[in-house]
């Protein structure tokens, strides 16, 4: 009996060691680091094992969006409706006006309404853990959209544009703009970040600072206000008017006798607010980055008022999401991907698309297949 027990114990130990060896609890990859391919034999088990089985073709699909305050979310609302219906699904699409409890309730009611998949662009990446875990327990698939779902086991995968990469591109575009518009350095700049609850915002900033910090350190760039921490630079709720107010006070506080040459901006709405503030203060327009290729900013890039934006086409992100939903519906589980990101609790499968910098020079090329934006370049 004792021998049998010892044998069983040994077996259990060997099995659990094998599991540890194949797992990644100790070496979860940094954001956007490609993980080992799924077939390499030592990749992590998928964050939430893709249960085959599928569901009915005309199923209800929930889409929970954070707000409709920027063009990308309005496009997502329309495109999900059109595309999900075209694929034969019944969409429930709701936006939560940047209010976390509203988003929690909306997701709750999607579960009650029998949604088989819920697509979520979180207002606050960390505040949906309980309701998403409830969704998983009810057999619902959960897909993060555009933003990571943090600190929860209730997520099967996330579709997004590389967020650290986006920040690197924003900083690189800012440097290109400084060279083109402001001649030789050193240059005076200021830094802006997005809404601190949005998991993208600190990643955009982190990516940007990996490019800018060495040039701040060697004196090529001077952040005249000295405000270089994300917490100092963040813009609560991505609110353009808050960014404009901060820019107004930076200009009156630090630039009454100086020119501002460039500004890091996390998206287009904030870029336009900053440009407006500079114009009103009688400054030359600084070199500035952006994000989203919003119509108004595409026009400003074309007319030279905003140096650059970044295209992260909503149609591509929605198409990628619907491909996953179709795979789940057909019982094929989550498609393979070689990127995983640790969300604080588990390694999450990430389906990552590449963001593209847009300046006046390449705008026609980038929007060659986007008649709406192409029409703005005149
Ligand atoms: C999105 C951006 C958007 C911002 C504010 C971010 O998470 O990636 O496209 O401009 O949220 O809505």
Q: What is the DSSP string of 302-371?
A: HHTSS--EEE--HHHHHHHHHHHHHHHHTT--SPP-SEEEE-SSSEEEEEEE--EEE-TTTHHHHTTT-H
pTM over 0.95: no
Q: pLDDT tens digits, residue range 205-224?
A: 999 999 999 999 999 999 99
Q: Give the distance (Å) from ligand 1 centre to CA of residue 207.
A: 15
Residue 42 has pLDDT above 90, yes or no: no
Residue 13 has pLDDT above 90, yes or no: no
What is the pLDDT confidence band of residue 52, given thresholds at 50, 70 and 90?
A: low
Residue 50 has pLDDT above 60, yes or no: no
Query: Which pairing describes strands 262-264 and 287-288: parallel, antiparallel, or unpaired?
Result: parallel
The residue nearest atom 6 of ligand 1, judged by CA position, is 200
Q: 200 CB less than 6 Å from ligand 1?
A: yes
328: how many CB neighbours lie within 10 A of its CB? 26
Q: Give the distance (Å) from ligand 1 centre to CA of residue 237.
A: 10
Q: How far is CA 133 from its chain centroid?
A: 21
Q: Is there a cis peptide before residue 186, judged by omega within 30 degrees of 0?
A: yes
Q: 163 CB less than 6 Å from ligand 1?
A: no
Mean pLDDT of 333-349: 97
Q: 272 CB less than 6 Å from ligand 1?
A: no
Q: For residue 123, give both structure tokens.
A: 């207002």
Q: For residue 101, give both structure tokens.
A: 């409890």
Residue 235 has pLDDT above 60, yes or no: yes
Residue 265, helix vs strand vs coil: coil
């Amino acid at each position: 009996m004792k021998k049998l027990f010892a044998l069983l114990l040994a077996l259990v130990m060997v099995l659990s060691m094998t599991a540890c060896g194949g797992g990644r609890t100790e070496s979860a990859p940094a954001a956007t680091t490609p993980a080992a391919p799924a077939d390499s034999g030592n990749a992590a088990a998928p964050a939430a094992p893709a249960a085959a089985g599928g569901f009915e073709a005309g199923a209800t699909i929930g889409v929970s969006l954070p707000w409709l305050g920027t063009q990308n979310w309005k496009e997502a609302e329309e495109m999900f409706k059109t595309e999900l219906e075209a694929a034969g699904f019944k969409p429930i699409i709701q936006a939560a006006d940047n209010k976390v409890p509203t988003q929690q309730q909306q997701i709750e009611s999607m579960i009650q309404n029998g949604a088989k998949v819920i697509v979520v662009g979180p207002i606050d990446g960390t505040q949906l853990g309980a309701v998403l875990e409830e969704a998983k327990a009810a057999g619902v698939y959960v897909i993060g959209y555009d933003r990571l779902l943090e600190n929860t086991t209730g997520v099967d995968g996330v579709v997004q544009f590389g967020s650290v990469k986006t920040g690197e591109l924003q900083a690189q575009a800012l440097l290109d703009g400084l060279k083109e518009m402001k001649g030789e350095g050193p240059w005076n700049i200021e830094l802006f970040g997005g809404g601190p609850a949005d998991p993208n915002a600190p990643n955009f900033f982190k990516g940007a600072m990996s490019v800018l910090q060495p040039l701040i350190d060697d004196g090529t760039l001077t952040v005249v206000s000295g405000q270089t921490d994300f917490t100092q630079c963040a813009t609560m709720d991505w609110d353009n008017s808050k960014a404009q107010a901060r820019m107004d006070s930076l200009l009156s506080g630090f630039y009454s006798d100086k020119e501002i040459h460039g500004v890091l901006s996390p998206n287009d709405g904030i870029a336009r607010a900053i440009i407006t503030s500079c114009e009103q203060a009688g400054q030359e327009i600084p070199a500035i980055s952006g994000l989203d290729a919003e119509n108004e900013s595409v026009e400003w890039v074309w007319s030279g008022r905003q140096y650059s934006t970044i295209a992260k086409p909503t149609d591509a992100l929605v198409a990628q999401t619907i491909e996953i939903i179709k795979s789940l519906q057909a019982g094929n589980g989550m498609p393979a991907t070689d990127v995983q990101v640790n969300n604080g609790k588990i390694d999450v499968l990430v389906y990552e698309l590449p963001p593209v910098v847009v300046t006046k020079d390449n705008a026609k090329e980038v929007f060659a297949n986007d008649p709406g934006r192409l029409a703005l370049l005149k």
